[in-house]
Amino acid sequence: MYKKILIATDGSKFAKTAVSHGIELAQRVGAKVVVVTVTQGWSAYQMAEKIQKGAANPIPDYVASMKELAGQILDDAKKVAEAADVSCKVVHISNGHPAEGIIETADKETCDLIVMASHGRRGLNRMLLGSQTAEVLGFSKIPVLVLR
């Protein structure tokens, strides 16, 4: 059925459910998984706000914090896969558009299914939005399993 499943996550509660479900599906069908998280670039508004608060160059701090957050998100997913004895590769796309990063990773890794939550993180530190799920559904050439 499926040989390689891409699981998109932003570390939110909904995304963690999608990670668990995707890994369980992979375990049942004997598939490998690729877990991806995409960090969006910083908006000009966010940069201006940090500079107004006295940060001389806030970009390196942002990049470092997003790299750390992405690492934790991917480590958590890898632990779930290891516990289920499922082969797991993790990918962090930095400074990208989430839907594009998800679709490009699925293509590059030759995945035959994308698993993702219907909604993700909201607010300043968002990494994946509900609108991104709709965009993946609209542009993906492979099936997409959306979990609520």
Q: Can you give the pLDDT at residue 129?
A: 43
Model confidence at 80, pLDDT cuts 50, 70, 90, reads very high
The pLDDT value given to residue 123: 42
Overall average pLDDT of the 4-21 stretch:
95
Domains in the chain, number: 1
Residue 128's pLDDT band, with cuts at 50, 70 and 90, is very low
What are the residues facing 113 on neighbouring strands?
A: 5
List the CATH number of the domain containing 96: 3.40.50.620
Q: How confident is the model at residue 127 (pLDDT cuts 50, 70, 90)?
A: very low
Gyration radius of the chain over CA positions: 16
Q: Which helix (H) or strand (E) holds 88?
A: strand 88-93
3-state secondary structure string across 17-68: HHHHHHHHHHHHHCCEEEEEEECCCCCHHHHHHHHHCCCCCCHHHHHHHHHH
Q: Please give the pLDDT value at position 130.
A: 58
Output DSSP code: residue 87. -
Contact 49, 107 (CB under 8 A): no
Please give the pLDDT value at position 48: 79
> Is residue 130 within 8 Å of residue 102, measured between CB atoms?
no
13 forms beta bridges with: none
- Its domain, for residue 11, covers 4-147
Residue from 112, 89, 98, 108 nearest 37 by CA: 98
Structure confidence at residue 46 (pLDDT)? 75
Nearest-5° Cα angle at 72, 31 to 91? 45
Strands 88-93 and 113-117, how do they pair? unpaired
pTM score above 0.85: yes
